[in-house]
């Protein structure tokens, strides 16, 4: 069993990005600028957004964080989104999810300019991804593709089972794995909470992407020997032994599944750091579109 170290891989890729950003600056090109809008006081969201800001500083990006109260109206948030759309210095921005219940997340996503949608959630980018056209890929699936690429994991001809059909991870991941690309060419089965023979299907999988949002959902009896398991889940579970009062659990019961795997990602330190790195790649590509040769 080999552990797929997302934290270390993210650092290696960020070092490469830092070199490219420094070279851009020397040539007089624009410094990439990533912005984030955070609404409310969700602890996990704050941690995630702070890691984005820190990563921007690390590689030489400009960054902006707009932290808004949970009481902000949908109309006010839409105005701020439009301000970011019109700000030429901002190359890409994200509105951190989840949003408070009184705000329609789909309406906010649609309001983000596709050219600045570095999270890859806008229907324009999703549609281009489906067609195999250049676009900003959804950050977490893009990060997973980068992980598989860095570890030289062969995917062509493999049977991949994706557990979870969210628009953020599961559905786009199934599309990316099926594409005719270096990381791709899989036969993909997309499963979810209503799938009746899930265990039977997962036992057939050469590659399992667990993204259902249920802690330790995937157990050893669902995984065949030698499978590659990518755990996307991050659920906070109460744990009195931790200083924070909680532990992070993935969608995979790691201790019992890991011995059966050829490769597996841990939680934390697996997919999470790669999501941030994917955002940085998308933002750099957005900045490059403004380069005047």
Quote the crossing angle between the two packed helices 271-288 and 43-59, to the nearest 10°.
50
Q: In which band, very low, low, confident or very high, does the pLDDT at 129 lie, cut at 50, 70 and 90?
A: very high
Which of residues 135 and 242 earns the better pLDDT score?
135
Q: Write down the pLDDT at residue 255.
A: 96
Average pLDDT, the chain: 95
Q: Report how far residue 222's alpha carbon sits from residue 152's, in angstroms, rounded to the nearest whole number.
A: 25
Q: Which of 52, 116, 146, 249 is catalytic?
A: 52
Structure token digits, residue 195: 């799938």
Binding residues, by number, are 164-166, 234
Mean pLDDT of 2-27: 97
Q: Report how far residue 253's alpha carbon sits from residue 258's, in angstroms, rounded to the nearest whole number.
A: 8
Task: Report the percentage of the chain scoring pLDDT > 90.
Answer: 89
52 flagged as catalytic: yes
Binding residues for NADP(+), by number, are 164-166, 234
Q: In which band, very low, low, confident or very high, does the pLDDT at 273 lie, cut at 50, 70 and 90?
A: very high
Q: Which of 5, 91, 96, 146 is catalytic?
A: 96
86 flagged as catalytic: no
174-195 per-position pLDDT tens digit: 999 999 999 999 999 999 989 9
Contact 22, 285 (CB under 8 A): no
**Res 229 pLDDT > 70:** yes
190-217 per-position pLDDT tens digit: 999 899 999 999 999 999 999 999 999 9
73-124 per-position pLDDT tens digit: 999 999 999 999 999 999 999 999 999 999 999 999 999 999 999 999 999 9
| Radius of gyration from C-alpha coordinates of the chain | 19
* CB within 8 Å of 26: residues ≥ 6 apart: none
Mean pLDDT of 278-292: 93
Q: Write down the pLDDT at residue 293.
A: 52
Q: Domains in the chain, start-ordered, CATH in brackets?
A: 28-113 (3.40.50.10860), 139-271 (3.40.50.720)
Mean pLDDT of 8-14: 97
Q: Which of 91, 117, 119, 206 is catalytic?
A: 119
Q: What's the whole-model pTM score?
A: 0.94
Q: Report DSSP letters for the chain, one per residue.
A: -EE--HHHHHHHHHHHHHHHHHHHHHTTPPPPEEEEEEES--HHHHHHHHHHHHHHHHHT-EEEEEEE-TT--HHHHHHHHHHHHH-TT--EEEEPSPPPTTS-HHHHHHHS-GGGBTT--SHHHHHHHHHT-S-PPPHHHHHHHHHHHHTT---TT-EEEEE---TTTHHHHHHHHHSSSSS---EEEEE-TT-TTHHHHHTT-SEEEE-SS-TT-B-GGG--TTEEEEE---EEEE-TTSTTSEEEE-SB-HHHHGGGEEEE--SSSSHHHHHHHHHHHHHHHHHHTT---
Q: In which band, very low, low, confident or very high, does the pLDDT at 257 lie, cut at 50, 70 and 90?
A: very high
58 flagged as catalytic: no
Q: In which band, very low, low, confident or very high, does the pLDDT at 237 lie, cut at 50, 70 and 90?
A: confident
């Amino acid at each position: 069993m080999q552990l797929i170290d997302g934290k270390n891989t993210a650092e290696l890729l960020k070092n490469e990005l830092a070199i490219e950003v420094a070279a851009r600056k020397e040539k007089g090109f624009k410094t990439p600028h990533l912005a984030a809008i955070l609404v409310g006081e969700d602890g996990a969201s704050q941690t995630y957004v702070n890691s984005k800001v820190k990563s921007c500083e690390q590689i030489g990006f400009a960054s902006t964080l707009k932290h808004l109260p949970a009481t902000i109206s949908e109309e006010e948030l839409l105005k701020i989104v439009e301000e970011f759309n019109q700000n030429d210095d901002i190359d890409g921005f994200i509105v951190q999810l989840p949003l408070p219940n009184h705000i329609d997340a789909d309406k906010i996503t649609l309001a983000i300019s596709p050219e600045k949608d570095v999270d890859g959630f806008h229907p324009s980018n999703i549609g281009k991804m489906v067609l195999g056209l250049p676009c900003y890929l959804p950050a977490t699936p893009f990060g997973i593709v980068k992980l598989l690429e860095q570890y030289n994991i062969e995917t062509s001809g493999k049977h991949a089972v994706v557990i979870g059909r969210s628009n953020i991870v599961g559905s786009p991941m199934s599309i990316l794995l099926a594409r005719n690309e270096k990381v791709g060419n899989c036969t993909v089965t997309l499963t979810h909470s209503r799938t009746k023979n899930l265990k039977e299907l997962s036992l057939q999988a050469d590659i399992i992407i667990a993204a259902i949002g249920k802690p330790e959902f995937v157990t050893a009896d669902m995984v065949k020997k030698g499978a590659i398991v990518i755990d996307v889940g991050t659920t906070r579970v109460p744990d009195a032994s931790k200083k924070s009062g909680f532990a992070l659990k993935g969608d995979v019961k790691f201790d019992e599944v890991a011995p059966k795997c050829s490769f597996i990602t841990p939680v934390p330190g697996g997919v999470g750091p790669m999501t941030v790195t994917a955002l940085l790649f998308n933002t750099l590509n957005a900045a490059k579109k403004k380069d005047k040769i």
